[in-house]
A = this chain, B = another copy of it.
């Protein structure tokens, strides 16, 4: 299959590219390198079936040209900075909503019939149903990130209905693993390397979140698209468990061999729009035969080890 991967130089995107290449597919990768990293594509670039195009989703002619001849789009490019959404409210709209519209228009122009999309469990807002199924009650959005991803989902659904495309929408929990380069494990490891005696934690440490190991995430996406039918399918992707921020801190500190004094900023939310409890019902994707291999603890520990082995990632950002 000739695959087009947006956000190909990102944490999840580059992992998907490697897996697609290993599976014998041809891949064109598209990235603006705003947060993507060339280092993540080192193996891909050496592969004869990979071609890299540098470009922004907002550069529609370039996007359309790059996509020519593709059979399926994996649309992973996004502004994923959930926490700082309210500091730059246009960024989510531009990169996530308008960007997705441009991807769909480029697909229409090129006659590409299939798309897989990385959405987020954040679209459930502060749901009251746990674990949360895909058909949970109509949510209220609490972050610009969630709002922009919901808008992307809705656009894909309308294009599938209107133009006969096939869409697979994946609502991810937070993803962990090799090449992980932003989020709470990153922040904690970076902080503890600077000063192992203390750790500042946003919120009260009781927030409960679910995490999925990146290779399990990619396996789930590939399982779903290999078992595809129906114009639009929506899948939660996560594990059947959750942990508290304090659990995660415990595993990180154990792995690093440190015992910091913990300072909590307080409150049940880490930041405005933070969702204090995320736990998704993943029975729909499990019914296709997929199951995760790593636990949340495995994911945290592999992430810590990866960051320790790749200190350049921790050092390049303050």
* Shortest CB distance A247–B (Å): 26
A316 contacts chain B at the CB level, 8 A cutoff? no
Query: Taking CB as reference atom, which chain B residue is nearest A105?
Result: B89
Residues of A70-96 at the interface with B, using a CB-CB cut-off of 8 Å, are 85-86, 89-90, 93
Q: How far is the CA of A234 from the CA of B146 in the complex (A)?
A: 18
- What B residues does A273 contact at CB under 8 A? 158, 161-162
Whether A157 is near chain B, meaning CB under 8 Å from some CB there, is: yes
Residues in B whose Cβ lies below 8 Å from that of A151: 97, 147, 150-151, 154-155
Chain B residues with Cβ below 8 Å from A148 are 154
The 8 A CB mask of A138-169 against B (1 = contact, 0 = none) is 11111110111011011101110111000000
* Contact across chains for A158 and B137 when beta carbons are under 8 A apart: no
Kindly state the separation between the CA atoms of A85 and B108 in the bound complex, as whole angstroms.
Answer: 15
User: What residues on B are CB-neighbors of A140 within 8 Å?
Assistant: 157, 232, 234
Chain B's nearest CB lies how many Å from the CB of A78? 15
| Min CB–CB distance A95 → chain B (angstroms) | 13
Chain B contacts for A232, CB-based, 8 A: 140
- Chain B residue contacts of A108, Cβ below 8 A: 89
Which secondary structure dominates chain A's binding surface?
A: helix
CA gap between A146 and B137 in the complex, in Å: 18
Contacts of A137 in B (CB 8 A): 135-138
List residues of chain B with CB within 8 A of the CB of A272.
Answer: 161-162
- Give bound CA distance, A105 to B92, whole Å: 13
Please, how many angstroms separate the alpha-carbon atoms of A150 and B98 in the complex? 14
Q: How far is the CA of A82 from the CA of B143 in the complex (A)?
A: 28
On chain B, the residues within 8 Å of A159 by CB distance are 89, 144
- What are the residues of chain B within 8 A of A147 when measuring CB–CB? 151, 154-155, 157-158
How many angstroms from the CA of A38 to the CA of B53 in the assembled complex?
50
